[in-house]
Structure formats: C-alpha cells, structure tokens
Chains A and B, each alone.
Chain A
Amino acid sequence: METLFTPFTSLGGGLLIGLGAVLLMLGLGRILGATGIMSGIVFAENGGEFAWRAAMVAGMILAPGFIFLVTGAMPELSVPVSPAMIVIGGVIVGFGASLGSGCTSGHGVCGLSRLSVRSIVAVPTFMLTAAITVYLIRHVFGA
C-alpha cells in the first residue's frame, strides 16, 4: 500500500513534536518519553508523579480532535495489519521499550538532542531491527 511523500507536513509535525519536548523540559524539567510517561501512569508511585503524566496523556488524546476542529479532517490512520499482529507487536513494544529504557520519543527525539551515548546506540538499533522486521514480513514471508 503506497503512501504519499509528505516532507512539509512531516517536517512541520516534527517541529511541533520538538516544541512539546522543549515545553516539558521548560515546565517540569523532564524528558518527553512516551514509554516513561505510560509506565509512570501504570506503575505510579504517588499522586504527584501520576497527575502530570495523566494531564499530558489527556492533552495528547485531545490532539486529533483539535486537528479536526482546525482542519476539518481527522489525521490519516490506516492499519494494514491484523488484530493479532497488533497484539503481538504491542506486547513486544512494551517489553522492549521498558527493558531498553525508551522508544522513539525518549531515545529518539530527546536522547539524540541531548547527545546521550545510550540513545545514540539505541536509536540505530531499533531502526535497524524495525527495518529488518518489515523486510522479512513483506518480502520474505510475503504478508
């Protein structure tokens, strides 16, 4: 399934993602890592640690509706895989991202920007295994 090459909206979205990461550092002094924020909600140690993460997640969930109000269209989202693949992939994502202490936002955006050695190792690692996985699924197993 082909998707359109969208360099300008993707760059624009990237700038906003970066702005979000900077705002969180300015306001709360924290790294914007979705894995950390999610697991901080699931395994909250106290109300204060839970509350700001819950507020952030609420803002994130409101975003597609906000985009709809501004542009008149929901963001495009097509899921070309089966529910079983979503469940299997999701469990692997949760396990791996918490073991590796981060995902695309924490290691990718924030870690690379901090020039963190761990993130500079983590990001090419997960990009490579994702690319190999997609190659195997699409071109070897032909799904």
Chain B
Amino acid sequence: MKLIFALVTGLVFGAGIAISGMMNPAKVFNFFDVAGTWDPSLAFVMGGAVIITFIGYRLVWRRDAPLYDDRFQVPTSTAIDARLIGGSAIFGIGWGIAGFCPGAAIPALGTGRWEVALFLVAVTAGFYARRLIGATQTSAKAA
C-alpha cells in the first residue's frame, strides 16, 4: 500500500509539474528574463503550490503520525551557513543555464525527450562531485 501511495503521489506531483509549465525550459528562462521576453506564469505555480502545502501540512500535522510510517520526518536545522547559501546560489546558476530543475526534469523524463535524460545524468554527476569534496556529508536526505 505504501508503495502504491508513493506512486500515486508522484503521479499527482508530476501531473502538476506538466500542466504548470515548469518542465518547459523555454518558460523557465522567460520567467527569469524580466529584461526580455518575460513570462510571469511560473510565479502562479509557486503561489498555488505554497498555498495548498501551507494549509495541507497544518491539517496533516494534527495527526500523531503519517499513514504508513510511525513519525513525521521534517528537517529541524535552522543553520544559515555557507553551504546553504553557496549551494543555493550555485543551484540557481545551473538552473539558469539548463532551464531544468530536478523536480521538473524527473516528470519530464516521461515525455521521452533525450535532453531530459542527459540533464538527469549530469545532475547525478553533480551529486557525486559534491560527495567527493565533502567528507562531512549530511545533506543528502535533508530536502
């Protein structure tokens, strides 16, 4: 049941990504291209997603535990450190170069486009590169 639930959850998330325009790099570039062919659509994606998640999380957290596990596992760190800021800054640069982010590229794989597979292989290489430089790796499961 747990795995079927996870599969359906992925399908709902992926359908949202597909409908929203997030998996279309042309749209992602234009969202950021305020000085050029600006298309503010993706602000509505984040707005809609955060509204539902903000309310939904608070309803879910009234429970003692999730349906298929014994506890909620939410990150507790509040450290604003160089890794957080540097890593986020670096991520944004890559997003601006390729036009895909991981959450958009995974569902986009289902369109069968080879560019998406190429991107995800490169992302995986980036994960390994991050492991090579950091002996104290704690971030892999954080978010």
CB-based contact A132/B84 at 8 Å: no
Chain A binding surface SS class: helix
The size of the chain B interface, using a CB distance under 8 A, is: 120
Partner of A76, one of B21, B36, B141: B21
B52 at the A/B interface (Cβ < 8 Å)?
yes
Looking across the interface, which residue of chain A has its beta carbon closest to that of B22? A13
Interface residues of A (CB under 8 A from B): 1-40, 42-43, 51-53, 55-67, 74-81, 83, 85-114, 116-118, 121-123, 125-135, 137-139
23 contacts between A and B (CB under 8 A): A12-B19, A13-B17, A15-B52, A16-B15, A22-B59, A23-B12, A25-B61, A27-B6, A30-B73, A31-B75, A31-B143, A35-B103, A37-B106, A56-B7, A61-B106, A64-B23, A67-B15, A86-B98, A87-B122, A88-B98, A92-B91, A102-B143, A103-B103
**Which B residues form the contact surface with A (CB < 8 A)?**
2-27, 29-30, 32-37, 39-42, 44-54, 56-57, 59-61, 63, 65-69, 71-75, 77-80, 83-111, 113, 115-116, 118-127, 129-131, 134, 139-143
